[in-house]
Chains A and B, each alone.
Chain A
Amino acid sequence: MKHLLIAAGLTACLATGASAGVLDNVKQRGFLSCGSNTGLAGFGLPDDKGVWTGLDVEFCRAVAAAIFDDPTKVKFIPLTAKDRFTALQSGEVDVLARNGTWTQSREAELGLNFGGVNYYDGQGFMTRKKNNISSALELNGASVCVQQGTTTELNLSDFFRSNNMKYEGIAFATADEAIKAYDSGRCDAFTTDVSQLYAEKLKLVNPDDTIVLPEVISKEPLAPAVRQGDSQWFNIIRWTHYAMLNAEELGVTRANVDEKVKSPMPEVRRLLGVEGDFGKGMGLTKDWAYRIVKHVGNYGESFERTVGENSKLKIKRGLNNLWSKGGLQYAPPVR
């Protein structure tokens, strides 16, 4: 199936020439086409009613809310790690919000732009408790299951090489097969981004027999990506995230946004479009940020609902806390 996708992507490469702006295309089409994970709890996963949920999914809903004032006008296209960039490059999706790492080569060589980092992640390991180890530095000689087609294999190799340790890596096409192999005892450890470790752990037969080791062996700033060459669209993607962050910082929530419109605070008034018209430059209405908060909520709400305390994953805010609370999430001001 994924080869078909690549083929479809290449065909699209052959077919499409220069096109109008992405925003115009999206408006004309009537919905946003969002590349998402094939199924990763907390980030992008259809629930039992077929409704997509997750941090990346809510980001796409926020973009749709800003454009259409309707968070449901999104079509989610599940993409494997291997196909995702081809699908974005070929124009099959408008934005790729699929826990993708922002790296230099992906911007310089693949022709992509990464928006605001909506999750600061890093690669880690999980292993069985009965192995009795408390650090990834004790994994010398271990067999490690890994999902192929990501930078994960490169980081894994780097980690063992730089610590002068041996390992056996078994690479699988999908995370599902990799986690099954780990569960059957083929591997001593499973490695991927820490956020994903917590999600995959839930799929194990006995999730409590496995622990996530403390080491984080790579920097993985996860950010939504767009094609280069359309600055307006890139601004919309980047500022959707910043709007959610600013809302959290200013205390604007889904519940109180209608009251906050009456707030005397100039920053809040500018953000919600009461003063000035900051959406115009991006081809949006002036209440673009109001729409985002009204339909989806601020970043903190979205985080807790999808991956944090109110979810099954129970991941702590940590690096993803606001800069004012010891984290890395920092948004430039709307003015």
Chain B
Amino acid sequence: MSGGEQGAARPQVPLLHDPRFRGILAQALTALVVISLIWAAVDNAATNMRARGIPTNFDFWDRTSGFDVNQTLIAYSAISTYGQAFWVGLLNTLLVAGIGIVFATLLGFLLGVMRLSANWAARSFAAIYVETLRNVPLLLQLLFWYNAILTPLPAPRASLGMPSVTLTWPDAPSFALALAAAGGAFFAARFARSRAEDDARELLASVGAALGWIVALVALLFGASVFIGAPGGGVLHWGGPAGVYLNNRGLLLPDPRFGPGFEWVMAALALGVALSLAFGIWARRRQALSGAQSPLALVSLALILGLPLLAFFAAGGPVTLEYPVLRGFNFQGGVRVLPEFVALLLGLSLYTAAFIAEEVRAGVQSVARGQTEAAHALGLRAAPTLRLVVLPQAMRVILPPLTSQYLNLTKNSSLAVFIGYPDLVQVFMGTVLNQTGAAVQVIAVTMAVYLTISLATSGLMALYARRTAWAER
């Protein structure tokens, strides 16, 4: 088209009156003005900073930091550099933001669907939740959760403890009882289904089946001795030194140390994942061809959890646990989940979930009612209708605002500084800035980091949106 316009028939006009040229000229001039303004500002700031003796370079990056951080995902101590302190803070931010996004999404979708539920209690609960949580400032919520977590927890000396656990094969009586109970439950369930017209007997059989499953599980985990007094143990063995503690210094867990033979467990895990992926592809093809469904979730769970567990026992339990031990003021050893981390994670996830819930509701309501009715007419029950028909269409509406909620959560994580969680802002823009005095550099780097995280999140979400988008017709 444009080629035609530029043809020979076009009348000659002065260059300044050519709309194309004028457009380019205007853009170039604007760009020039903006760039020179920025340059002037940067140059002026640098000159003034030099005149006042404020550092203007990044020499501090490789200097020894001299301070400690109480949660580090990479090796770090007071003799590490400011650059390493930056990475410590960044990883802590990414950790809480990443886990927070997962929690907020799960809870947000649940609440969003609940708000549209036919069940009055579910609907009202979700409505009250959303209205309360999104209308209270986040900082207040964080301080509330921090106090709510710290206040009831005891001091380290009075820790709430859970005894340690070891896993072994169940002994023969326990195994036999578990097998028998599971078999009984299975047949009771079949009987219940076949007597569907007789309400009383169906109920009785269902209760019996449920009881059977419970007995099987308990026998397998804790041993037959729970029921029949005979000696015998299940998979779980309690005792020994306590392994898990809860106090106002956090949740202490045993630190797993992987011994020789653990590679077999990892190999079994990889095999399990691969097999379940293969099974998924096979199941999808089978459904496409014949319409027959396969118990995908159950089989995948058995493969991904069961195979490594078998390998674990076969290799003779190649994991030893290093238990936390109370020494002086605190527990030493083990892994610790900081109360600051839990408070921040709770606050961020619960708050953001309220907004996500509203977006999910908007998305679901944007799907035409006829879609649900058509799905019901095809014989789909409520859950598959939601999962297979409504949500995939709703996602087109949900995705853009969902992205900005993810960005909000990440940026809100900088409130960590008020409850003592060592995130990027606390470690880098706080301690590092103060010790080095390099305010401009540190703030510029911090802004660049948040910008990068935000752009990366947006990019990933856009990629996902493009993959799930419909072909325009």
Contact = CB atoms under 8 A, between A and B. Distances in A.
B249 A111 contact: no
Contact of A171 (B49, B431, B437): B431
Contact of B41 (A14, A17, A177, A188): A14
Contacts of B437: 85, 105-106, 109-110
Given A141-B330, A171-B420, A89 B54 contact: yes
A16 B249 CA distance: 48
Contacts of B48: 13-14, 16-17
Given A82-B430, A149-B431, A184-B147, A169 B68 contact: yes
Contact of B70 (A89, A106, A168, A228): A168
B434 interface: yes
Contacts of B78: 157-158, 161
Given A89-B52, A111-B54, 12 more contacts: A14-B44, A17-B48, A109-B54, A141-B328, A141-B330, A153-B435, A157-B66, A169-B67, A170-B70, A185-B153, A188-B329, A228-B52
A93 to B, nearest CB: 14
Contact of A86 (B53, B422, B439): B439
A154 B430 CA distance: 13
15 contacts: A89-B54, A105-B437, A109-B53, A109-B437, A141-B328, A150-B434, A151-B435, A156-B68, A166-B332, A168-B70, A169-B70, A170-B420, A171-B422, A178-B420, A188-B330
Given A157-B78, A184-B248, A149 B49 contact: no
Interface in B396-421: 417-420
Contacts of B431: 148-149, 153, 171
Interface in A250-288: none
Interface string B244-275: 00001100000000000000000000000000
B425 to A, nearest CB: 9
A142 B249 CA distance: 10
B122 interface: no
Interface in B420-436: 420, 422, 426, 430-431, 433-435
Contact of B248 (A106, A142, A156, A185): A185
A142 B67 contact: no
Contact of B440 (A10, A153, A157, A169): A10
A186 interface: yes
A131 B329 CA distance: 9
B52 A158 contact: no
B150 interface: yes
Contacts, number: 135
A139 B49 CA distance: 42
A6 interface: yes
Given A110-B53, A157-B68, A171-B426, A186 B418 contact: no
A173 B418 contact: yes
Interface residues of A, number: 56
Contacts of B434: 81-82, 148-151
A184 B248 CA distance: 9
A14 B41 CA distance: 6
Contact of A13 (B49, B55, B150, B339): B49
Interface in A101-158: 105-106, 108-111, 131, 139-143, 145, 148-151, 153-154, 156-158
Contacts of A177: 418-420
B155 interface: yes
Contacts of A81: 434
A238 interface: no
B310 interface: no
B217 interface: no
Interface string B129-148: 00000000000000000010
B45 to A, nearest CB: 5
Interface in B39-67: 41, 44-45, 48-49, 51-55, 66-67
B340 to A, nearest CB: 7
Interface of A: 6, 9-10, 13-14, 16-18, 81-82, 85-86, 89, 105-106, 108-111, 131, 139-143, 145, 148-151, 153-154, 156-158, 161, 166-174, 177-178, 180-181, 184-186, 188, 227-229
B151 interface: yes
Nearest to B339: A186
A6 B45 CA distance: 14
- List 8 tightest A-B contacts by C-beta distance, closest first: A111-B53, A141-B328, A142-B329, A153-B67, A173-B417, A157-B78, A111-B52, A149-B434
B150 A185 contact: yes
A216 B330 CA distance: 24
A225 to B, nearest CB: 13
A81 B431 CA distance: 10
Contacts of A172: 417-420
Nearest to B421: A170
Interface centre among B45, B54, B420, B433 (most CB of A within 10 A): B420
B327 interface: yes
A142 B330 contact: yes
Contacts of A86: 439
Given A154-B66, A171-B431, A142 B328 contact: yes
A107 to B, nearest CB: 9
Interface in B299-336: 327-330, 332
Nearest to B434: A149
Given A89-B52, A227-B52, A173 B329 contact: no
Given A110-B437, A143-B249, A184 B150 contact: yes
Given A13-B45, A148-B430, A141 B418 contact: no
A82 B49 CA distance: 18
A121 to B, nearest CB: 18
Nearest to A128: B155
Given A109-B53, A185-B150, A154 B435 contact: yes
B409 to A, nearest CB: 19
B110 interface: no
B107 interface: no
Contacts of A151: 434-435
A63 B155 CA distance: 49
